[in-house]
């Protein structure tokens, strides 16, 4: 049996409705790279104690499913990484579509040996103008700080292990904190992170469309995003009442 070179890890909580919309784009991108490279990859969906048919849907679409009951996104991603066989890891959220060339681009960067990891920036297209402006602000913030959201991040498995993975004592901003440490490791080892600005991944805009603009501004700004990251109660709406 061929050992996969790439492991794509997808955290999922009650995503039975969204996986059929987004996972096929990941499968298409993965298969395109497999056909041209002769290498193999795997897709691991980490079912975070879902109450719907997430596991069944993911399995039927061709993903390997593991379960994690702890309601903490860092723990969920780490659980997927722990069973991954690939020498490279690609973390993608369950409600994110990626372009067909995404996996090929990521693997070319990682196989070059010049980068410890990186990310493809997101393109959000919410309905309301205020939400679109907020997304543009975050895009500019990301570019200025060489940061990346957890909607998609990739790295070598070696780098992931060296960093100890995502923090499991944070309930918010654990993705940005991990990427900051990955960026520091890249700078230290002269293998900087790669921000693939020629491509965009497309996350769903469900929270932007269902929450008011002011509510999004309050919960999604650089100050609030760093408030009490250890508090499950403070960030309970991100876990207990997830927008669907």
Give the pLDDT score at 104: 98
Residue-wise pLDDT for 72-126, tens only, equals 999 999 999 999 999 999 999 999 999 999 999 999 999 999 999 999 999 999 9
Model confidence band, residue 241 (pLDDT cutoffs 50, 70, 90):
low
| CATH number, domain containing residue 167 | 3.90.550.10
Structural contact between residues 107 and 6, judged by C-beta atoms closer than 8 angstroms: yes
CA-CA distances (angstroms) from residue 208 to 120, 130, 214, 238?
20, 9, 10, 13
Q: Does residue 164 form part of some domain?
A: yes
Q: Does residue 226 form part of some domain?
A: no
Total domains in the fold of the chain: 1
Task: Please indicate whether residue 213 or residue 183 has the higher confidence score (pLDDT).
Answer: 183
Q: Does residue 219 form part of some domain?
A: no
Alpha helices for 38-128 (secondary structure H): 54-60, 73-83, 102-111
Give the pLDDT score at 221: 81
Q: Does residue 76 form part of some domain?
A: yes
Residue 108's contacts (CB-CB under 8 Å, 6 or more residues apart) are: none
Structural contact between residues 216 and 207, judged by C-beta atoms closer than 8 angstroms: yes
Q: How far apart are CA 8 and CA 63, in angstroms?
A: 10
Tokens linked to 142:
């990301």
Please classify residue 234 by burial: count the beta carbons closer than 10 Å to its beta carbon, then call 0-12 exposed, 13-18 middle and 19+ buried. middle
Least trusted range by pLDDT, from 136-140, 167-171, 201-205: 136-140
Largest CA distance in the chain: 52
Q: Does residue 182 form part of some domain?
A: yes
Residue-wise pLDDT for 8-39, tens only, equals 999 999 999 999 999 999 999 999 999 999 99
Tokens linked to 105:
């681009």
Q: Domain residues for 106?
A: 6-126+146-205
> Taking the CA atoms of the chain, what radius of gyration do you get in angstroms?
17
DSSP string, 124-135: ---SSHHHHHHH
Strand 202-203 and strand 88-92: pairing? unpaired
Within 10 angstroms of residue 16's Cβ, the number of other Cβ atoms is 18
Q: Does residue 241 form part of some domain?
A: no
| pTM exceeds 0.75 | yes
Give the pLDDT score at 124: 93
Q: Does residue 190 form part of some domain?
A: yes
Q: Does residue 186 form part of some domain?
A: yes
């Amino acid at each position: 049996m061929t050992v996969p070179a790439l492991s794509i890890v997808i955290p999922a909580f009650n995503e039975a409705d969204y996986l059929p919309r987004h996972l096929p784009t990941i499968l298409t991108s993965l298969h395109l790279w497999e056909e041209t490279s002769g290498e193999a990859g795997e897709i691991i969906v980490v079912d975070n104690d879902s109450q719907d048919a997430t596991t069944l849907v993911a399995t039927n679409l061709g993903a390997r499913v593991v379960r994690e009951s702890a309601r903490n996104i860092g723990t969920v991603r780490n659980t997927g990484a722990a069973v991954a066989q690939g020498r490279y890891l690609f973390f993608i959220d369950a409600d994110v579509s990626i372009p067909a060339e995404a996996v090929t681009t990521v693997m070319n960067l990682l196989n070059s040996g010049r980068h410890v990891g990186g990310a493809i920036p997101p393109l959000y297209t919410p309905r309301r103008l205020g939400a679109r402006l907020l997304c543009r602000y975050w895009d500019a913030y990301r570019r200025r700080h060489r940061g990346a959201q957890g909607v998609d991040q990739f790295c070598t498995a070696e780098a992931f292990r060296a960093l100890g993975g995502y923090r499991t004592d944070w309930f918010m901003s654990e993705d940005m904190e991990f990427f900051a440490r990955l960026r520091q490791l890249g700078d230290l080892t002269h293998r900087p992170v790669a921000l693939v600005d020629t491509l965009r991944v497309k996350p769903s805009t469900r929270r932007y469309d269902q929450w008011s603009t002011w509510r999004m501004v309050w919960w999604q700004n650089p100050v609030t995003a760093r408030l009490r990251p250890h508090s499950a109660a403070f960030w309970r709406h991100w876990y207990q009442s997830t927008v669907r």
